[in-house]
Amino acid sequence: MSTAPIIERCREIFEDLDFKVVRAWKDAEPGRKVMGYMPFYVPREIIHAAGMLPVGVLGGGDQLEVIHGDAYYQSYICRIPRSTIELGLTGRLDVLDGMLFPSICDVIRNLSGMWKLMFKDKYAHYFDVPQNFDDGVGGAFYIEELKILCRDFEEISGREVSDEALRRSIAVYNKNRRLVNQLYDLRIREPWKASTTDVYLILRAAMVLPVEEHSDLVREYLAAAQDEEKPMRDNCRIVLCGTFCEQPPLGLLRSIEMAGCYVVDDDFMLVTRWLLDDVPLEGDPLENLSDAYLHHSGETAAKYVPDVKTKGLHLVEAVKRSGAEGVIFASPSFCDPALLDRPMLQNVLDAHGIPYTSFKYAENSGQMQPIREQAGTFADSIKLWSAA
């Protein structure tokens, strides 16, 4: 089997701003409920355990004309809340029975309040996550947050979120995470076989497909990609950093690849691999989810790092693990978390002698020539002038 039809399907899902896949899932059985969520992380296991479909809402991309959304924000605010409001006001998110707004930045937190005012008949919840990683403090707080979700979701779905249901859902997501990690491993090993455009589209499909279906899709892609003969190019290997909330346009990813870079690690759609290990199936499932968040989760700008000496080391580790030769910081314009984090991360890269380049984008950026030039000259500088 070829990867082409799989990617074509993912592309159709990605380009569909009306969430037809979600509508079809909901219409297939009366009473089905759908819970939307924004970046960077929500425990999808709980949504799944309540029998609902978790749906990632990642803004409108470059195909949505924002007309109403701009009226709600000052010019110095990023684009994802504008286009999300646009999606909501134009009825495209009517299929959702609720929305979760994770703790990522002030803009998204405030969007949760705006959502409550704008869509009074829909559930909207600001999902707070701990910034204290002590089990007795942050853990206790987080478990209470998870209990609120369980209670709310039971009410919406009319279905009990039992420990057994949670364990089953945890197992399903453990499996999906392992497959996504295998996809990332393949790209590290043979990036010419699994392009970043492909990986991105596959992860976008994870935002709307039922997790079981997505796992099948990833498995099929892995089998097909491994068998496909594609030439290895003389590209440099880079880690892409800063794309964890507002999404880069597909053209940007393609431009980076065309410019001579193999992206061997990235931080888009972190929800698919935020938890680094399997969540244990034994014991209390909420405690297990809490433990996974506190002690076995990734790092991103939205997560506090208590020990300043370790700040940014995850990026150095990602570079080493993936055999990357440099880092491209691509951050959305006006993204406080990404842009405030960037200087700290750059300092750490400087200290470790890892080259990097930086630029900004918006989800609707259309002019890619400057990015191609910048990424291309960065790739050239690594290939021709690096010490290795």
Contact status, residue 100 vs residue 115, Cβ threshold 8 Å: no
Beta strands at 261-265 and 236-241: parallel, antiparallel or unpaired:
parallel
CB of residue 322 to another protein, shortest distance in Å: 15
- State the minimum distance, in angstroms, from the CB of residue 257 to another protein: 9
Q: How far is the CB of 247 from another protein (least distance, A)?
A: 23
Return all residues near 382 (Cβ < 8 A) that are at least 6 apart. 236, 238, 325, 326, 355
Cβ-based nearer residue to another protein, 149 or 261 = 261
Q: How far is the CB of 351 from another protein (least distance, A)?
A: 24
Query: Across the beta sheet with 53-56, what order do the strands follow?
Result: 53-56, 34-37, 98-102, 123-127
Burial 276-308, CB ≥16 within 10 A → b, else e? eebbbeeeebbebbbbbbbeebbbbbbbebeee
Q: Given the complex with another protein, which of 38 and 379 has the nearer CB atom?
A: 379
List residues binding another protein (CB under 8 A). 230-235, 258-260, 372-373, 376-377, 379-380, 383-385, 388
Identity of the residue, 306 or 323, whose beta carbon is nearer to another protein in the bound complex: 323
Lookup: tokens for 147: 């209990």
Shortest distance (Å) from residue 357 CB to another protein:
13
Q: CB within 8 A of 11, min separation 6: which ones? A: 201
Residue 5 or 323: which CB sits closer to another protein? 323
Residue 160: partners with Cβ closer than 8 Å, 6 or more residues away: 154
Closest to 100 measured CA to CA, from 145, 163, 68, 65: 145
Q: Measured from the CB of residue 258, what is the shortest distance to another protein in angstroms?
A: 4
- CB-nearer residue toward another protein: 13 or 261: 261
Place of tokens 């699994």: 194
Residue 227 has a CB neighbour count (10 Å cut-off) of: 11
Residue among 130 and 191 whose Cβ is closer to another protein: 191
Amino acid at 382: I
- Residue 110 or 381: the one with the smaller Cβ distance to another protein is 381
Closest approach of another protein to the CB of residue 333, in Å: 21
